Amino acid sequence: MVRDSEGRGVVCLAFIIALLAIFMPLYLVRENRVAEGVLYGVAGLPKRRCLFFVLLPIVLHGFALFGPSREARKRMAVISSFLGAISLMFFLSGVSAYYEAVGPESVRIAPGPGLLLLAFSLMVPLLGFEMPPLIALFGGGALISAAWFLIATGRLDALGVLKEAANRQDRLLAEIVNHVRISSTAVFFASLLGIPSAFLISRSSKAKKTFLGVMNVLQTVPSIALFGLLIAPLAALSRAFPVLREMGIRGIGDTPAIIALSIYAMYPILRNTLAGIEGVSPSVLDSAEAMGMNRREMLKIIIIPLTLPFVVHGVRLAMIQSIANATLGKLIGSGGLGVFVFEGLGQFSVDMVVLGIIFLALLTIGADALFRVVGYMVIPKALQKQYYSDNRSS
């Protein structure tokens, strides 16, 4: 949430990043998949309308920067980000159509550093401000509709990422499913252990301090190192107990990845659950006790309903973290979108790397949106007005 009293800080940052981006190469043209590409900037744009689509996001950021009020600036910044993203897609369609007409059939277009930086500037307001549900719904719908229209009409056929996706369609779908399966399984086990643990240790400051200390230490271990550390013990277990090998538990593959991701995912779930439990006012519990409620009734009627939004928030953070970290599973033989990222790096294929990153971003945004909706749904009705008021003021 943004605490900037004027709401200008985030918008100003987005405007500066977008302004810097136009001085960098915007796109890369290659004759085929393995050919060395040529980078083009603003001076090399094939059509005038392409320049309009590049400048539009900067102009929109400028309008948002000088909005009449704080709320207006926030709303204008979020709307500008969606419109700017659509503008960049039309920019790519114009460049793609031009080179498809004048170049060989195997020509490939890829975003350059300037375009990627421009896209990042559009993400800054979306990450920095709380999006009003209606703007998020219509903005996301417009973005998806524009992308579907351009792809369906063949206006992005020269885009290297789409050519890679078309060539690897079956494998791409399988790895997306694998990535979701690995991430969600890890978060499931982390929730299964983390949520009850938070309720158990919440009444003992010593147990809480010890447990959180252990979790803090585990968080300092790099994820790739933890993946590697699990290989030897799991391999030894699978050799000692062949039944485990038959169940798929071995030193490499999905098992060490899921265990490592579960360990990392436990921390945000545990911390947020504890924050929810500790956030329940002692006076409320004293009043409930005076009314004759026992501990079980207080948990059911007061503590759990008030803690549930915090739990969902913790699971949301854990899911986003797991989706990102699951990419490294490829290094220990696990599946997922890391396959495209690391194979693309090995083959010097920018398109494969970008393909993996795009779907990672889409999965992250989708998971974030889903858990935000669930979080709003589980807020007790009596607290919804206060909750939305807090979000608007942040």
Say whether both 103 and 173 belong to one domain: no
Question: Within a domain: residue 114?
Answer: yes
Say whether both 353 and 211 belong to one domain: yes
CB-based contacts of 288: which residues, under 8 Å, 6+ apart?
A: 297, 298, 301, 302
Q: Which of 163, 180, 196 is the last residue of a domain?
A: 163
Say whether both 333 and 255 belong to one domain: yes
In this prediction, residues 82-106 reach a mean pLDDT of 88
> What range does the domain containing 207 cover?
169-393
Per-residue pLDDT at 2 = 44
Q: Which of 163, 198, 226 is the last residue of a domain?
A: 163
Question: Within a domain: residue 272?
Answer: yes
Per-residue pLDDT at 266 = 92
Mean predicted lDDT score pLDDT of the chain: 83
Per-residue pLDDT at 117 = 92
Say whether both 265 and 284 belong to one domain: yes
pLDDT band at 315 (very low <50, low <70, confident <90, very high): very high
CA gap 351, 110 in Å, rounded: 7
Does the pLDDT at position 27 exceed 80? yes
The CATH number of whichever domain residue 287 belongs to comes to: 1.10.3720.10
- For 111, the enclosing helix (H) or strand (E) is strand 108-111
Per-residue pLDDT at 384 = 57
Say whether both 188 and 58 belong to one domain: no
Q: Listing from the earlier edge strand, what are the strands of the sheet with 108-111?
A: 38-40, 27-30, 108-111
Question: Within a domain: residue 305?
Answer: yes
* E-state strands within 255-355: none
pLDDT, one tens digit per residue, over 115-148 is 989 988 988 887 777 766 677 778 888 888 998 9
Per-residue pLDDT at 392 = 46
Does the pLDDT at position 48 exceed 50? yes
Q: Which of 163, 190, 225 is the last residue of a domain?
A: 163
pLDDT, one tens digit per residue, over 229-276 is 777 777 777 777 777 677 667 777 788 888 889 989 999 999 999 988
CB-based contacts of 268: which residues, under 8 Å, 6+ apart?
A: 314, 317, 318, 321
pLDDT band at 380 (very low <50, low <70, confident <90, very high): low
Q: Give the predicted TM-score (pTM) of the model.
A: 0.78
Say whether both 126 and 268 belong to one domain: no
Question: Within a domain: residue 1?
Answer: no
CA gap 283, 280 in Å, rounded: 9
Say whether both 199 and 303 belong to one domain: yes
Tokens at 212, concatenated:
């959180």
Say whether both 198 and 105 belong to one domain: no
Highest mean pLDDT among 181-185, 303-307, 364-368: 181-185
Per-residue pLDDT at 53 = 92
